[in-house]
Amino acid sequence: MIDQSTVARIFDSAEITEVVSDFVTLKKRGVNFLGLCPFHNEKSPSFTVSPAKGIYKCFGCGKGGNSVNFIMEHEHLDYVGALKYLAKKYHIEVVEKELSPEQERQKNDRESMMIVNSFAQKSFTQNLYEHAQGMAIGMGYMRERGFRDDIIKKFQVGYCLEAWDAFSNHALDCGYKKEYLVKTGLSIEKENRLLDRFRGRVIFPIHGIAGRVQAFGGRILKNDAKAAKYLNSPESEVYHKSRILYGIFQAKKSIVQNEKCFLVEGYTDVLSFHQAGIENVVASSGTALTADQIRLIKRFTNNITIIYDGDAAGIKASLRGIDLVLEQEVNVKVLLLPQGEDPDSFSRTMGASELMEYIEKNESDFIVFKTNLLLKDAKDDPVKRANLIIDIVRSIAIIPDGIVRAVYVRECSNILNVDERVLYTEINKIIHRVKEDSWKNEQRSNLPEDQTTDKLSENSAFLRSANECDLEERALIRILLNFGSEILYSQKDEAGNEEQLLVGQYIITELSNDELESVNPLYQLVFDQYGENMEKEAFNTKTFFRDLPNEKVNQLAADILSEPHQLSGLWTRNESVVESEEMKLKEIVPKLVNEYKGKKVRLLMKEVMQEMQKAQDTGNADRMMELMKQKMVLDQIKNAISKELGNRTIS
């Protein structure tokens, strides 16, 4: 862990314009700088850098944040990696915080395992090029498959000798500990003896996103009915198969450049595509597609084309997994290769341009592909058709974007010959159930603080649309970030001392006194952090959330700080208008807080009325009396807020 004082020095030194200028040509435009966004292709610049606020924001693709966020996004590094990158740029010595004995042990274990993996990769690769058995069998296999030397070296392919313990003994002789050979899965301990897991196999190292070897896949070369054709390293502290994709390190640059990722199944599929000149390709390595793998691809692109061979049974088995892709707001297409072909064999029949042309011509949207595929099975069977419609509706309902959903509904309505209204009815039922379940699960108190935004901000568009107070809460956060340290009221106490109430103190106190919480955990995290830190002398409202080590909060802060300070839409009712935040804070802040309280009261009133209807329907008189008392209290609160708002009616 990097010492907090070092982190502070890095943030202080990393001037946003200097950092971005290393990668983007910027031109001064007023108080800001403008350039072409490095994260998506654009002809007219929409990428803005604000030196005063210390943020960047692209109004084309929506990306934004601070200097660290920019390096994380551009260089595809994690938070610590980005900090170290900037520390090196500004010649800052990185002082790492002392770890607990348990943390130190885990760190050392992970590093030792990575070192052992690196040694194994070099040893296996050396076998392929220098050992007689490796050259004859391992390299013979690669030559038979038609792979060039540059591709073999690019992916560091190797060979494990056909002997029970050749590698394990070599590693022990070189000073590597038995403990880490076993933990990585390179060796299997049996009767006080180490045996090689991958003996007699061609080895495909599995690299992490930073290029370090995390695991291995081995392909057997002899006919053995009892042995698996492919064998992977077991799960370990450095390898989680559900979180990694084969070839991601070699593909990430090309994925960004081409704004698309091709997803295939096996190691040799990836190698063959690279040999054909297409590098933006990764493999799931035979495992079912997971949400973590999709999010890994999303770091580089929102466009995925999944390539299948002609095995219809295999495709159907994987359809449900692809629903995960839709849920992650990714544009997913499917390419079905001709019968008898797989990505490896098919890519060998043509060059890069010819292969790309074929893909673009034959790939289709996943929903349409799935509908047509299942429709062939259903034929005229009414029960199968009904199940098909339910299956398709579930997939469409997962898509968060309403416009995209509408397009698919129209297409599927035409294909299935089903009225759009019928599809919408079923979709809305599913969405309603999902919202109800999410609402219950999104209670912040049930989650550790470090998981709050990770678990519940993955789909921010859904959270915003599900939050009926989003407009007011976002406006409150905007005022906190821009004007939180401004003086709202100033008065003298009984002793004649002047007391000042800051804008941020007023807002947080009002929310706390009335126990008002946002259903959006990201917003609530901002309110909580503000409340915890607002009394500290060094607390700076404009930089605290921008520099907080939380990417979701950084993005929210960048978005809000980039928005114009205009809230007139909140006040244009009954000729009561507040034009902008530039007017007196004494007027705008209490009005906004009371608007928010009024909205919350209206929602509570709606819930009470619904409960009263249920009590009336069931004849529960005691419950009805209890609810009527609640309604009277809410009416009193509503009238008080209405008076505060200048007798404006709260509907």
Q: Which residue has the higher pLDDT, 553 or 638?
A: 553
Indicate if the pLDDT at residue 606 is higher than 60: yes
**Residue 165 sits in the same domain as residue 187:** yes
565 pLDDT higher than 60: no
The one-letter amino acid at 349: T
In a domain, 397, yes or no: yes
Predicted confidence at residue 312, as pLDDT, reads: 60
Q: What is the pLDDT of residue 487?
A: 83
In a domain, 357, yes or no: no
Which tens digit of pLDDT belongs to each residue from 243-298? 899 999 999 888 878 889 999 988 999 999 999 999 999 998 766 788 788 878 88
- pLDDT higher than threshold 70 for residue 133: yes
537 and 493 share one domain: yes
Read off the pLDDT of each residue in 592-619 and give the average, rounded to a whole number. Answer: 81
CATH number, domain containing residue 155? 3.90.980.10
Q: For 216-220, 342-346, 359-363, which range has the lowest pLDDT when averaged over its residues? A: 342-346
Distance, CA of 169 to CA of 189 (rounded, Å): 12
Give the β-pairing of 261-264 and 281-283: parallel
What mean pLDDT do residues 621-630 have? 78
Position 583 scores a pLDDT of 55
- In terms of pLDDT, which residue wins out, 601 or 442? 601
State the pLDDT at residue 273.
94
**79-89 and 4-13 helices cross at what angle (nearest 10)?**
60
Residues 190, 160 share a domain: yes
Q: In this predicted model, which residue has the larger pLDDT, 513 or 412? A: 412
Mean pLDDT of 351-355: 84
- Asked, for residue 585, whether it belongs to a domain, the answer is yes
395 assigned to some structural domain: yes
H or E stretch covering 304: strand 303-308
Per-residue model confidence (pLDDT) at position 638 = 72
Average pLDDT over residues 291-310: 82
Residue 181 vs residue 619, higher pLDDT: 181
> 190-197 — which CB contacts under 8 Å span 24+ positions?
193/165, 194/165, 194/168, 194/169, 195/164, 195/165, 195/168, 196/160, 196/161, 196/163, 196/164, 196/165, 196/166, 196/167, 196/168, 197/231, 197/233
Residue 429 in any domain: the answer is yes
Task: Determine which of 106-120, 209-223, 244-258, 582-596 has the lowest per-residue pLDDT on average.
Answer: 582-596
Q: Judge if 513 and 599 occupy the same domain.
A: yes
Q: Is the pLDDT of residue 322 over 90?
A: no
Residue 649 has pLDDT above 60, yes or no: no
Q: Is residue 271 part of a domain?
A: no
pLDDT tens digits for 369-414? 888 888 887 777 888 888 888 888 888 888 877 788 888 889 888 8
Strands (E), 64-208: 64-65, 158-160, 187-190, 193-196, 201-207
Residues 434, 540, single domain; the answer is no
The mean pLDDT of 197-216, rounded to a whole number, is 92
For 78-98, the pLDDT digits (tens) are: 888 889 899 988 888 886 666
**Averaged pLDDT of the chain:** 81
> Per the structure block, which two tokens stand in for 43?
């002809």
Residue 426 lies in a domain: yes
**Res 563 pLDDT > 80:** no
Tens of pLDDT, residues 148-193: 999 999 999 999 999 999 999 999 999 999 999 999 999 999 988 9
Q: Are residues 497 and 642 in the same domain?
A: yes
pLDDT tens digits, residue range 442-458? 444 343 444 444 444 44
pLDDT at 321 over 70: no
pLDDT above 90 (res 117): yes
- Would the pTM count as exceeding 0.85? no
Instruction: Note the pLDDT tens digit of each residue in 29-38.
Output: 887 899 888 8
Q: Do 645 and 502 have their domain in common?
A: yes
Determine the pLDDT at residue 457: 42
Q: Is residue 514 in some structural domain?
A: yes
Which domain-ending residue is among 418, 438, 458?
438
Q: Does the structure show a pLDDT above 70 at 582?
A: no
pLDDT on residue 110? 86
DSSP per position, 595-618: HHHHHHHHHHHHHHHHHHHHHHHH
Could you tell me if 614 and 491 lie in one domain?
yes
Give 543 or 172, the one with higher predicted confidence. 172
pLDDT for 444: 40
Same domain, 592 and 534: yes
Number of domains in the chain: 4
Q: Are residues 430 and 523 located together in one domain of the fold? A: no
In sequence order, which residues have a C-beta less than 8 Å from that of residue 52 and are 6 or more positions away? 31
Look up the domain containing 80 and give its range: 4-90
Domain termination site, one of 90, 110, 137: 90
Specify the CATH number for the domain of residue 44. 3.90.580.10
Average pLDDT over residues 490-505: 76
Q: Of 200, 224, 239, which marks where a domain is finished? A: 239
Determine the pLDDT at residue 184.
96
What's the CA gap between 169 and 278, in Å, rounded? 39
pLDDT score recorded for residue 453: 41
Does 21 or 325 have the greater pLDDT score? Answer: 21
Same domain, 181 and 74: no
Residue 580 has pLDDT above 50, yes or no: no
Q: Is 530 found in the same domain as 500? A: yes
